[in-house]
Amino acid sequence: MTRVDEIAPDIFRISTYFADFNLQFNQFLVRDDEPLLFETGMKQIFPLVREAVSRVIPPESLRYVSFSHFEPDECGSLNDWLTLAPRAEAVCSVVGAMVFVNDGAVRPARGLNHDETIQTGKFRFRFKSTPHLPHGWDAGVLFEETTRTLLCSDLLGHGGDTSPVTDDDVVGRFRESTNGFQGGPLANYMPYTSRTEAQIKELASLKPRACATMHGSTFLGNGEQALLDMAVVMKELLG
List the one residue out of 178, 151, 170 whose CA is nearest residue 216: 170
Q: Domain coordinates of the chain in residue numbers?
A: 2-238
List pLDDT tens digits, range 7-22: 999 999 999 999 999 9
List pLDDT tens digits, range 167-216: 999 999 999 999 988 778 877 889 999 999 999 999 999 999 999 999 99
Helical ranges in 55-122 per DSSP H: 72-75, 78-84, 94-96, 102-104
User: What CATH homologous superfamily does 2-238 map to?
Assistant: Ribonuclease Z/Hydroxyacylglutathione hydrolase-like (3.60.15.10)
Distances from the Cα of 221 to the Cα of 62, 116, 163, 209, 213, angstroms: 29, 26, 15, 5, 14
Say which DSSP state 16 is in. E
Residues 6+ apart with CB under 8 A from 221: 167, 209
Q: State the pLDDT at residue 185.
A: 81
* Rounded Cα gap, residues 86 and 83, in angstroms: 6
Sign (positive or negative) of CA dihedral 192, 42, 77, 4: negative
